[in-house]
Chain A
Amino acid sequence: MRFSGLVENEILKIARQRRFRVVMLILVVLIGLIVFAQVRGRERFLRKEWRVETQERMAQMQNMLRDGRMPPSWQRWTRFELGRLQYHLDRGIDPNAISGPLFVRGFANAASYLLLPLLAIVFASDIVSAEFAQGTIKLLLTRPVGRAWVLASKLAAVTLAITITALFGAFVAYLFGGIAYGYQGWGAPILTGFRFAGERFDPSSVRSVALWEDTILVFGLAWFSMLCVGAIALLTSVLLRSTAAAMGTMLAALIAGTILPRLAPSWESQKFLFVTNLPLPDYYSGSPPPISGLTVPFGVEVLAVWAAAALAIAFAVFLRRDVLA
């Protein structure tokens, strides 16, 4: 027995099941749809010179702010956006520029909230429970291989599947984004690191980096989020022994995580929940976090702690529990 053989087994099982192809298809269809919708939207919007367009938008926002009927969380976002747009105007960089490479980065930002974690869940939440459902767990755990190795090989396979999903997403986004906006522009400068200090827009840490550098970082963060979600989904799969229950639980957690900051923005402790910290790419690129105190280093720490705890419990339970189903 070699560990690589065990991992090969788990990858074979993931790859031969329909869900793998479905996930890849979802990425193709969804990204295709987004590109199509965006192209149609821009045709109607952006006819003017970008400076004029940006100034008009800022004027609109200022009017809305003065009106004062905005909910507080919107006000924060609007003030932040005004600062960001002004900064771009000052530097002469079009904030709404679009190119294939920029689309890739934008996709990673947007998909890190729900889509990419969701796809991670699809793989991880069934990796153990499926063996129970098929009855194959009885064979898997009566071979001369320790249970820890079996679970470790499953973890490795999930990690690989998640990595492939992220890479494939990037590839499809570049492919389709390129068709619509051209494949050039990886070297273009990008402004990143906008922050909200207290209740004020803070440009002090804004940096200009090459787009390719920025994209790698953004995808890396999205990938890290996916891995942590995967670890937690693996735990639900071990605990619940039912794919439907595990997937349902993770889905509920994800969706709750996206609405909670909007429903209860004043509840500070939610920043310790893993779901609140999933949009790491967004916190990095600098949209105002839904609650203050969320930064990339903080988010990485919280997610890492959650993932480590989830794996520790998953291994402890998997190693000890009787298989009776």
Chain B
Amino acid sequence: MLETEVVLEAEGLTKSFGRRAAVADVSFDVRAGEVFGFLGPNGAGKTTTIRMLVGLARPDRGRVRIRGLDVFRDFEKAMAHVGCIVEAPDLYRYLTGRENLLHFARMLPDGAEARIPELARLVALADRLDENVSTYSLGMRQRLGIAQALLGNPDVLILDEPANGLDPAGIREIRQLVRYLAAERGISVFVSSHLLSEIEQMCDRVAIIHRGRTLATAAVGELIDRVASDRVRLTARPAGRAAELLSAFGPAEARPGEEEGVVSARIPKERIPEALRALAAAGVDVFAVERPVPSLEEVFLEITAGETV
């Protein structure tokens, strides 16, 4: 089954710098065609893990397999299936976009050059391809980096914090591109980030790393459900009346009055429809209902609640 085929496999990755353990026993599988999030705060060991995935750093213990090929024993064959951006989209600034792509195409089997025009269109850089990369914005460099990573027709794309430093439009472009690559081209994408909201919008499954250890690996929705608890925000009129009615389901508060306003309440997910019907029956106008995405801190608090950290 294509669905369950594992294309990237990390097994017990461990790496220490001096006495400090940067990554300890990190394992996960990335399946064919999925977008896999690697979530953790800065300094959690994300980049060190990625460096081991792509063969830049040797793990003290553990191994990485790409399509079943060990990255350290079968480097050239394994890397033929991978495209990556590690840390930042660093390319040759004194070369043009096209020269950069040609440069990396020459490091691949014949035929990679022929893909350059198509990839330039895909990342919307076709009209700027003959300008020096030094004139590119960060978003353009990020896209050129992705085009470079796609030159070899990889099965796995590894992106390290692709949204870092981008404006909202740039982040959206990257997100759409990643989803397109996974959905339409069947490429597995491994994305690291320190922002849960970003991972939530982009990924199918996620592994959470904290202080060099993976705390949980789960489908994104499942993880958020596990953590999102019962907080609900409503925009309703009159806000005071809404808060009163919602108190029946759990603690709720709003500024009293007849105005439209925000009501913060704690209602278990299963009871939200019931609560909304009660509001409607009482003639309260509801303009919006949202379950706030928990912050990464909240996720960590929730997941590590049972542990002694």
Contact = CB atoms under 8 A, between A and B. Distances in A.
Interface of A: 1-2, 5-6, 8-9, 12-13, 16-17, 134-136, 138-146, 322-324
Interface in B179-197: none
Contacts of A324: 48, 51, 56-57
B104 interface: yes
A145 B76 contact: yes
B109 interface: yes
Contacts of B76: 144-146
A9 B93 CA distance: 14
Interface in B88-107: 88, 90-95, 99, 103-104, 106-107
Contacts of A16: 94-95, 99
Contacts of A135: 87-88, 90
| Interface SS of chain B | loop
B57 A142 contact: no
B242 interface: no
Contacts of B58: 322
B56 A141 contact: yes
Contacts of B88: 135
Nearest to A142: B54
Nearest to A9: B103
Contacts of A322: 51, 56-58
Nearest to A146: B76
Contacts of B95: 12-13, 16
Contacts, number: 82
A5 B107 contact: yes
Interface in B126-152: 148, 152
B80 interface: yes
A-B residue pairs, 10 tightest by C-beta = A135-B90, A5-B106, A322-B57, A143-B107, A144-B80, A323-B56, A144-B79, A138-B86, A142-B54, A144-B76
| Interface SS of chain A | loop
A153 to B, nearest CB: 10
A7 B107 CA distance: 10
A139 B160 CA distance: 13
A141 B92 contact: no
Interface string B266-299: 0000000000000000000000000000000000
Contacts of A13: 92, 95, 103
Given A12-B95, A12-B99, A142 B106 contact: no
A317 to B, nearest CB: 14
B79 A136 contact: no
A140 to B, nearest CB: 8
A323 B93 CA distance: 21
Contact of A17 (B54, B77, B94, B99): B94
Contacts of A146: 75-76
Contact of A142 (B56, B77, B94): B56
B75 A1 contact: no
Given A142-B86, A146-B75, A322-B58, A134 B108 contact: no
Nearest to B59: A322
B106 A8 contact: yes
A131 to B, nearest CB: 9
Contact of A323 (B57, B80, B92): B57
Given A13-B92, A136-B92, A139-B104, 4 more contacts: A134-B92, A138-B87, A144-B108, A322-B56
A144 B55 CA distance: 11
